Amino acid sequence: MPKKIKLSQRVTRQHAGKRLDQVAAELFPDYSRARLQQWIKQGELTVDTKTFKPSTRLAGGERLRIEATMTPSGEVLPQDISLDVLFEDDHLLVLNKPAGLVVHPAAGNPDGTLQNALLNHAPELDILPRSGIVHRLDKDTSGVMVIARSLKAHTSLVKQLQTRSMSRIYEAVVKGVTSVAGTINAPIGRNPRERKKMAVVSGGKPATSHYTLKQHLPGSSHLEVSLESGRTHQIRVHMTHIGHPIVGDPVYGRGRVKQKALLAEAAAALNDFPRQALQARTLKLIHPDGGHHCEFHAPLARDIRVLIDILDCLCSS
């Protein structure tokens, strides 16, 4: 159903000389500047009942009014796909995404995605950009994700991602024996030879990953990884860059583990793992309505847990 928004705010003297869209963003902080600019251009955000350009300078004392209607996009259809809900309220929906689930429709995946499932679970999400999806996990990465359930939450979560006040902690099993801890500070961009892949490249976007060792395993290491940035495939690219690609990664995995000194069972467990052994374990954010700090955890996916248990048993045998 369409959602009608009616709001009004008085422009203060402190706002005198500022652009209309800038003042609107300060007076209506629950909405993004891009959306407010759209409402201004459509005549749904007025100044003393008159329409102006977003760049118009205000004198102070004017009355800004929003009378807008948000209608469902209808671009993505709901589908009955089960969701593992970790937390839910009027503003947030926190999920444990399984491996194998694509986040939103794209070429090669027109439906059967998380976005289709979200619209079935909460149809009102259709009025939000990308049905409230503000960040993503790769298809074969499992773990915790947050979805915005309101425009206020969407604006807040996007800002938290931009300012890095939202943080995520991952667990991964990587090939080889790593150091106890380390920091990878290497820019990431498109691979110049394979445009569908990312790589560490000069001139790429700054990217920093920190890892700590949880456990050494036969031919591998169980790590905890945290990010200072959120580049595409960042952990996968960074771990490959230092010679420790994630077990099971079909894109950056650098071939099979050679048996050598490993037991055949360990080599088989590592080589046969069907997807990248990477899980978004913890998500920390500020609640967009209450302003309090929230922390959400997704239990380690069963297939990764089984892999670690098998390797651990072989290590101690």
Give the pLDDT confidence of 118-173 residue by residue, as tens digits: 999 999 898 888 899 999 999 999 999 999 999 899 999 999 998 889 999 999 99
Query: Would residue 250 count as lying in a domain?
Result: yes
95 within 8 A of 148, measured Cβ to Cβ? no
**How confident is the model over 11-69, as pLDDT tens digits?**
999 999 999 999 999 998 878 888 899 999 999 999 999 999 999 999 999 999 999 88
Question: Which stretch of 85-94, 241-250, 251-260 has the lowest confidence by average pLDDT?
Answer: 251-260
H-helix or E-strand spanning residue 23: helix 20-27
Contacts of 209 (CB under 8 A, 6+ apart): 183, 184, 225, 226, 227, 228, 234, 235, 238, 239
Give a yes or no: residue 9 inside a domain. Answer: yes
pLDDT at 145: 98
Please report whether residue 79 resides in a domain: no
Question: Is residue 281 situated within a structural domain?
Answer: yes
Answer whether residue 207 is part of any domain: yes
The amino acid present at 264, given as its one-letter code, is A
Q: How confident is the model at residue 106 (pLDDT cuts 50, 70, 90)?
A: confident
Q: How many CA atoms lie within 13 A of 3 on its CB side?
A: 12
pTM: 0.82
Pair (292, 240) in one structural domain: yes
Q: Decide which of 162, 177, 196 is a domain's last residue.
A: 162
270 and 178 within one domain: yes
Average pLDDT of 91-112?
A: 92
| Closest residue by Cα to residue 70 from 156, 157, 154, 9 | 154
Choosing from 110, 128, 162, the residue where a domain stops is 162
Query: Taking residues 215-241, what's their average pLDDT?
Result: 94
Domain, as residue range, for 238: 168-316
In sequence order, the β-bridge partners of residue 133 are 147
Dihedral sign from CA coordinates of 182, 185, 191, 193: negative
What are the Cα distances from residue 31, in Å, to 27, 34, 66, 152, 294? Answer: 10, 8, 11, 6, 22
Distances (CA, A) of 306 to 138, 177, 193, 269: 21, 20, 36, 10
Give the pLDDT score at 109.
Answer: 83
Whether 96 has a pLDDT exceeding 80, the answer reads yes
Q: Identify the domain boundary among 38, 70, 102.
A: 70
Task: Give the pLDDT score at 258.
Answer: 77
- 65 shares its domain with 114: no
**90 CB-contact burial (10 Å; exposed 0-12 / middle 13-18 / buried 19+):** exposed
Residues 89 and 175 in one domain: no
Split into its structural domains, the chain has a count of 3
What is the rounded distance in angstroms from the CA atom of residue 64 to the CA atom of residue 47?
5
The burial of 109, by beta-carbon neighbours within 10 Å (0-12 exposed, 13-18 middle, 19 or more buried), is given as middle
33-47, 102-116, 290-304: range with highest mean pLDDT: 290-304
Are 158 and 290 contained in the same domain? no
Condensed to tens digits (0 to 9), the pLDDT of residues 212-221 reads 999 999 999 9
Which residue is catalytic, options 21, 138, 140, 249? 138
DSSP secondary structure, 146-210, as one string: EEE-SHHHHHHHHHHHHHT-SEEEEEEEEES---SEEEEE--EEE-SS-TTSEEE-TTSB--EEE
pLDDT at 72 over 80: no
Give catalytic status of residue 138 as yes or no: yes
In a domain, 77, yes or no: no
User: Domain holding 154: CATH number?
Assistant: 3.30.2350.10
Q: Is 10 helix (H, G, I), strand (E, B) or coil?
A: strand
Judge whether residue 112 has pLDDT over 70. Answer: yes
